[in-house]
Homo-oligomer: A and B are copies of this chain.
């Protein structure tokens, strides 16, 4: 298997190349965890290549390869199929990359590459049933209309799912987000939505599905989106989202430093938590830099494949700086690590988030 010799970025500073990516691809400002369903425009975005502008009238989804009956469907035909709406929490596989040291050179995410969309579409499993998978079907390759070069190779963005994953009942061919047609930047007119997996599986601008009789070995499967501890490691493919809790930074923020300030008194710390492998079982909060932890109150999840809200009442004892943290554990027993599980691609960093807040008295003063 080919290896990807990832370029490392300067640990202390960000390059103009990374900045150009950050100006295009944006996170979800953490205060938007206020919303069960992320309003359009606040959900994170990560595009490898340019956003294509597709004509919905001429649009056809082609499904072929190892099937009995190849299919070709217009958007109207896809909309005529039984529809389902699924709230899905999605996180970029590279979320937290910019908190790694050394930092792999790619989109420099801090903590915000998240969002929860209410996706509407038809079942991929039902479409595969209609086409009739042949017995030797192994992988379902999904190809987007976005095109560029990567690792020296010209390509359209393509990712595969093993047949068993593609047949999960909640995997969607989505044509709507939050009750409206997909916006261009979320894959108009059609995208794949794979609940519980990291974002790379959710192919946007989906035009072609090819069922193949072997394990797919395309660039985004064998070079990118693999968890490797060094470049000689073949690694393992990224799949489901690791458990994670995030906190809305409390108080008010400074511009441009984003430093937080909170007036002394009772407050409610809150945020969201999710895991791609199992339900979130607990969220714990620390207000003393991880020395002690207290359980947060968990709300029911927004959906079977979506985050839940958590909250924790806190009354700081006195003015001063506090280091806050939160951590989730899921029903499969997976919990967040204290520090990043470093890997060459900078993927799946679910290390505990830490926020410094300065508590001030009623006059806005904190001890120095």
Q: Which of B14, B35, B107, B253 contacts A13 (CB 8 A)?
A: B14
CB-CB under 8 A from A26, the residues of chain B are 23-26, 45
| Contact-residue bracket for chain A | 35 or more
Judge whether B14 and A16 touch: CB under 8 Å.
Answer: yes
CB contacts (< 8 Å) of A53 on chain B: these are 31, 34-35
In angstroms, Cα B186 to Cα A174, docked, is 26
Roughly how many angstroms separate A88 CA and B137 CA in the complex, as a whole number? 52
CB within 8 Å for A252 and B183 given contacts A13-B15, A14-B15, A24-B26: no
**B150-A21 in contact (CB<8A):** no
Residue A149 lies at the interface, judged by CB distance under 8 Å to chain B: yes
Residues from chain B with a CB closer than 8 A to the CB of A252 are: 49-50, 147-149, 154
CB distance from A250 to the nearest CB of B (A): 10
Query: A98 is contacted by which of B19, B21, B110 (Cβ under 8 Å)?
Result: B19
Which residues from B are CB-within-8-Å of A183?
Answer: 39-42
Of A76-84, A194-202, A255-263, the stretch lying at the interface with chain B is A255-263
Q: Is A254 an interface residue (CB 8 A)?
A: yes
Oligomeric state, in copies: 2
- How many angstroms from the CA of A184 to the CA of B38 in the assembled complex? 10
For residue A35, which residues in chain B have a CB less than 8 angstroms away from its CB?
A: 53, 184
Of chain B, the residue at the smallest CB distance from A150 is B255
In this assembly, does A328 line the interface, its C-beta being within 8 Å of a C-beta of chain B? no
A149 vs B261: C-alpha distance in the bound complex, in angstroms? 9
Asked if A243 is at the interface of the complex by the 8 Å CB criterion, the answer is no
Q: Inside 8 A of A154's CB, which chain B residues have their CB?
A: 252, 261, 364
Are A17 and B256 CB-contacts (below 8 A) given A39-B183, A261-B149? yes
Q: List 29 A-B contacts (CB under 8 A).
A: A13-B16, A14-B14, A17-B256, A19-B98, A21-B256, A21-B258, A23-B109, A24-B26, A24-B27, A24-B29, A26-B26, A29-B185, A31-B50, A31-B51, A32-B185, A35-B184, A40-B41, A41-B185, A42-B51, A42-B183, A42-B184, A49-B253, A105-B256, A106-B256, A147-B252, A148-B253, A149-B254, A150-B254, A150-B255
Given contacts A29-B185, A31-B53, A34-B53, 19 further A-B contacts (CB under 8 A): A12-B16, A14-B15, A17-B257, A18-B19, A19-B110, A22-B23, A23-B110, A23-B112, A32-B51, A35-B184, A39-B183, A39-B184, A40-B40, A40-B183, A41-B183, A42-B184, A148-B252, A149-B255, A150-B254
Residues in A lying within 8 Å of B, measured CB to CB: 10, 12-27, 29, 31-32, 34-35, 39-43, 45, 47-51, 53, 98, 105-110, 112, 147-150, 154, 180, 183-186, 249, 252-259, 261, 364
